[in-house]
Amino acid sequence: MFSTGSRFHAYSEPDGLAGGSVNAVHIEDKDTIWIGTARGLSRFDGQRFVTWNTSNGLPGDRVQWILTDRGDRIWLGYSTGVAYLSSSDLDRAARDSSYRVSFQFLGDGDGLKGNPDRGNSGLT
């Protein structure tokens, strides 16, 4: 649900939002909202959604959390680790449905101390 002034609108799959339950919302700036769901990643620009999932090359559909950094990267949390990819790569996949995004994935084998989604955050 998003507010535009004094009005609220609830968005769902028919509006272009990735399906399933919403797991994460990240506001990048006043014009960009990232939403992670059980079936993918969506970006909302205030007018429309663009959605990606494994068919576009994401490492998984169930996005647990989202962060962006100053280096044009989107960081996605999954139950098995963390992936990062470039937002420009996502833009290319949005324009070309045959293009698969590239990503780097970090998991336990890469020294990830623990994964909060699996109850072993490594925090004491």
Instruction: Give 52-64 as a DSSP string.
Output: E-GGGT-S-S---
In this prediction, residue 124 carries a pLDDT of: 33
pLDDT value of residue 15: 93
pLDDT of the chain, 124 residues: tens digit per residue: 555 567 788 899 999 999 999 999 999 988 899 999 999 999 999 899 999 999 999 999 999 999 999 998 999 999 889 999 999 999 999 999 899 999 999 988 887 765 555 554 443 3
- Report the CATH architecture of 2-110: Beta Barrel (2.40)
User: Structural domain boundaries of the chain?
Assistant: 2-110
**Is-contact 60 78, C-beta < 8 A?**
yes
Instruction: Give the C-alpha separation, 15 to 43, whole Å.
Output: 12
∠ CA 20-26-28, rounded to 5°: 140
Per residue in 52-88, pLDDT tens? 999 999 999 999 999 999 998 999 999 889 999 999 9
pTM: 0.84
pLDDT at position 1 is: 53
